Amino acid sequence: MTDNTDKKILNVLLANSRLSYRQIAKKAGVSPATAINRINRMRSEGIINRYTASLNYDKLGYGMHVVIEARVSKGMLFETETNIAQDPDVFAVYDVTGGFDIIIIARFKNTKQLDSFVKKLQKMPHVVRTHTKLILNVIKEEKMEI
């Protein structure tokens, strides 16, 4: 269970995970030893999974951001999701309720690459139907503070 001190440390890490323990401690208002102990505990508890960079995919040439919904035949959901998640262009795969079983978030460099992915998805053995939505503008996409 996290307390306010843990939350302060987590929010500092969300803003910049490259800071030293001393800098994290200063921004969170705790001692460096407290910051180190708290971070190590949260890593061992699985609260902190990894440290990563935030990239601008548009500047890297991945300007097509899409949401793809997929319906899967009964009993094959986990296997299908696992296969989809292996694709390097896939950003996220979600199990959902409603008219579709899976939501896929992916980024592509061009329509040809998107077309190829959708056709490959539709050929998967247990995918019954897909529905693709092109994201025109991203209004908010950022880490959520605790």
Cβ pair 69, 131 in contact under 8 A: yes
- At 145 the pLDDT is 87
Burial tier of 68 (Cβ tally within 10 Å: 0-12, 13-18, 19+): buried
Q: Give the pTM.
A: 0.84
Tokens of 50: 């990894």
- Mean confidence (pLDDT) of the chain: 95
pLDDT in tens, 27-78: 999 999 999 999 999 999 999 999 988 889 999 999 999 999 999 998 899 9
pLDDT in tens, 108-136: 999 999 999 999 999 999 999 999 999 99
- Which residue type does 14 have? L
Domains of the chain with bracketed CATH: 4-44 (1.10.10.10), 64-135 (3.30.70.920)
Q: How far apart are CA 24 and CA 22, in angstroms?
A: 5
118 φ, ψ (degrees, to nearest 5): -60, -40
Cβ pair 131, 100 in contact under 8 A: yes
**Confidence class for position 86, pLDDT limits 50, 70, 90:** very high
pLDDT above 80 (res 1): no
- Which residue type does 95 have? D
- At 142 the pLDDT is 83
Residue whose structure tokens are 């025109």? 136
Tokens of 24: 């994290």
